[in-house]
Copies of this chain bind each other. A is one copy, B any other.
Amino acid sequence: MTDVRPKQDRSRATRQRLLETTIRCLATHGWEASTVGFIAAEAGISRGAVQHHYRTREALILGALEFMFEERAALLDALPEPTGTGPDRVHRVVEGLVEGIGGELFKAALQVWTVAAADPELRAAVVPLERRFARGVHERAVRLLGADDDDPEIRGLIQATLDLARGLALADVLTDDSRRRARVVRAWSVQLTSALSAAD
């Protein structure tokens, strides 16, 4: 079948497939297995074409993380502006944040963080990327919760919610933790609701 899309669209689609495949390879097969050759084969792209855009494995992996962080941020932006102030609204937002932070992207990022923990050069490249993503998620959390981020107590609780989300994502790496996670998210949402309404 001939691809009739303009060349630029095709190359954008190819790039997206490559970066999504990179994330999937990292999450499923781990850092060591995720070489440029393996990822290229999984994506059905020649190794040379990959290296034309990303000269090293690190560049490819960091490019994939950045791309996915942006996708996740866009997903959070696309969440319908929640209405009401009750526990249902807070619960929906916390669920959205936990979903946005966790899943396959988290599993891929975990592989990178773990290697970066013992590799100062990789760490120096990962930290600013990770900070930008964390800041973006925090801002979105504040907006979605309609919270007052200038109140240090509320600010601390929103940060705690994002740390909780990362802890929950970690608990899901080795076993399926979704049922327990749903209970924990509910219990925390009740608390967060009462803290937010007390601060109003």
Q: What residue in chain B is nearest A111 (Cβ atoms)?
A: B114
Quick one: given A114-B110, A118-B28, A167-B167, are A187 and B174 in contact (CB under 8 Å)? no
A184 within 8 A of B: yes
A116 and B186 form a contact (CB under 8 A): no
Which listed residue, B28, B127, B163, B183, touches A156 by the CB 8 Å rule? B183
Which residue on B lies nearest to A134, using beta carbons? B171
Report the Cα distance A45→B181, complex, angstroms. 43
A171 touches B160 (CB 8 A): no
The binding surface of chain A is classed by DSSP as helix
In the bound complex, residues from chain B placing their C-beta under 8 Å from that of A80 are none
Q: Are A191 and B157 in contact (CB under 8 A)?
A: yes
Closest to A31 in B: B114
A102: min CB distance to chain B, Å: 11
Q: How far, in whole Å, are A175 and B113 apart by their CA atoms in the complex? A: 11
Contact status of A159 and B174, CB under 8 A, knowing A118-B30, A195-B191 = no
Q: Which residues of B contact A119 (CB under 8 A)?
A: 30
- On A, residues with C-beta under 8 Å from B are 27-33, 107, 110-111, 113-119, 123, 126-127, 130, 152-153, 155-157, 159-160, 162-168, 170-171, 173-175, 180, 183-184, 186-188, 190-192, 194-195
Instruction: Kindly list the 10 A-B residue pairs having the minimum CB-CB distance in the complex, ordered from nearest.
Output: A156-B187, A30-B118, A167-B167, A163-B167, A166-B167, A114-B114, A164-B164, A160-B188, A160-B184, A159-B184
Known: A127-B174, A152-B187, A164-B167. 14 other contacts (CB 8 A): A30-B115, A30-B118, A30-B119, A107-B117, A110-B114, A110-B117, A111-B117, A123-B174, A152-B183, A159-B187, A160-B184, A163-B168, A166-B167, A167-B167
